[in-house]
Amino acid sequence: MGRGYSRTEARKAADGTVRITNLHDFRDLSYLAFVWSCEADGEPLATGTLDVPALAPGESADLELPAPPAVSDGAEVQWTLRAVLAEDMPWAAAGHLIAWGQHSVSPRRSLPVARGQAPTAANGVIVLGPATFDAHTGVLTRLGSVPLAGPRLDVWRAPTDNDQGADRHTEQQYDRLWRQLGLHRIRHRVDGVELTRDALTVRTRVAPAGTALGLSTVYRWTADTDRLRLTVSVTPDGDWRVPLPRLGIRLGLPAAFGSAEWFGGGPGEAHPDTATASLIGRYRMRVDDMQTPYVRPQENGARPDVRRAQLSGGGATVQIDGEPAFWFTARRWTTERLDAASHLSDLAPGDTVWVHLDHAVDGIGSASCGPGVLPRYQLLAAPAEFSIVLSSTQR
């Protein structure tokens, strides 16, 4: 069931049952209480306790879960089972979370199609559904009443301590390799802005200056009356031999959009090789609180497996739905400013909330003191396609 338990493992054995396994070497499970919840789109529908026997080390038990409550069509339903302390301990109070597992019982809903509107061009702007674009660059500038910066493809991250360390097995230092390649100074060239009966297509080349490498990137925009859909297609050009730091889009919202809500992984940050600490649910947080204040400023704050994110402020809300699920980061400074900072005091909030919607990110590894990113967590340059749907509401 889900990602498993620390010294206790829960796996879905069959429909309606869960298998609990005690992975301790010496201790039974009598010190734990097990609490279940059934959730729809991250919101709890029902909760209760599961009567788990005091399994000895290595023992397992198959236990029945109650029937899931009825939900509306299209909702993503999942079970979450938590193992918590049954009573106070010298090191933590009763209810302290020890381990957890999750299992999805219905697939996530498909992304809205959002089409049917025709783009029109006049006076240097393109209007498509609720959105306005620059006619020369094809860049989105407004969604309803909300001004926007971007979005556009982004591959750079502020290198972490591990990115700056040398992998003890390969001696590779990715911060140095990325900068030698020029990934910190990517250039964007617009090759074409095309209007058809039902879409706006923007063709670009995204590449580090002075190299033969590039990422041919196509943005295809469609819309209905209230929603705007973007499909991004990326094709690598050249012989990429270095993993990418990230692959996704970055956009900017006004500074007032300081409240975030998302359905996906949380509550804290994660990377592909640390995501087992992330629990799928619905979370609400100030953008300022989404930052991890490392002593040396570096990439931080990404939430994994996000299906939907909302940013609110000034009486307006911008909603982002993604397919597939994306990595969600929001902060009040650009990656470039984060990269240039030496101390947290160097980071002053600006007039924009920068939002990263990443299709994939490179792992974090442990090269500051050990091996680097394992091969299965490296983000290699390869063809990719992902979509988001944007919508805005005003109170």
Specify whether 125 is located in the same domain as 100. no
Cβ atoms within 10 Å, residue 6: 12
223 bridge partner residues? 228
Phi, psi (degrees; rounded to nearest 5) at 181 = -75, -20
Reported as a single tens digit per residue, the pLDDT across 66-83 is: 887 877 777 889 999 999
Please check whether residue 1 lies inside any domain of the structure.
Answer: no
Q: Name which of 143, 159, 289, 296 is nearest 229 in CA terms.
A: 143
**What is the model's pTM?**
0.92
Structural domain span for residue 180: 120-394
Please check whether residue 3 lies inside any domain of the structure.
Answer: no
Token pair of 330 as six digits:
């929001």
Token pair of 347 as six digits:
């980071």
Specify whether 138 is located in the same domain as 199. yes
Q: Is 352 left (phi over 0), alpha (psi -120 to 50) or beta?
A: beta
Ranges of residues in the chain whose predicted pLDDT is under 50: 1-6, 13-14
- Calculate Rg over the CA atoms of the chain: 23
| Whole-number pLDDT of residue 13 | 47
Specify whether 241 is located in the same domain as 151. yes
**Domain count of the chain?**
2
Token pair of 31 as six digits:
């010190």
Please check whether residue 115 lies inside any domain of the structure.
Answer: no
* Domain final position from 36, 70, 104: 104
Specify whether 84 is located in the same domain as 178. no
Specify whether 142 is located in the same domain as 215. yes
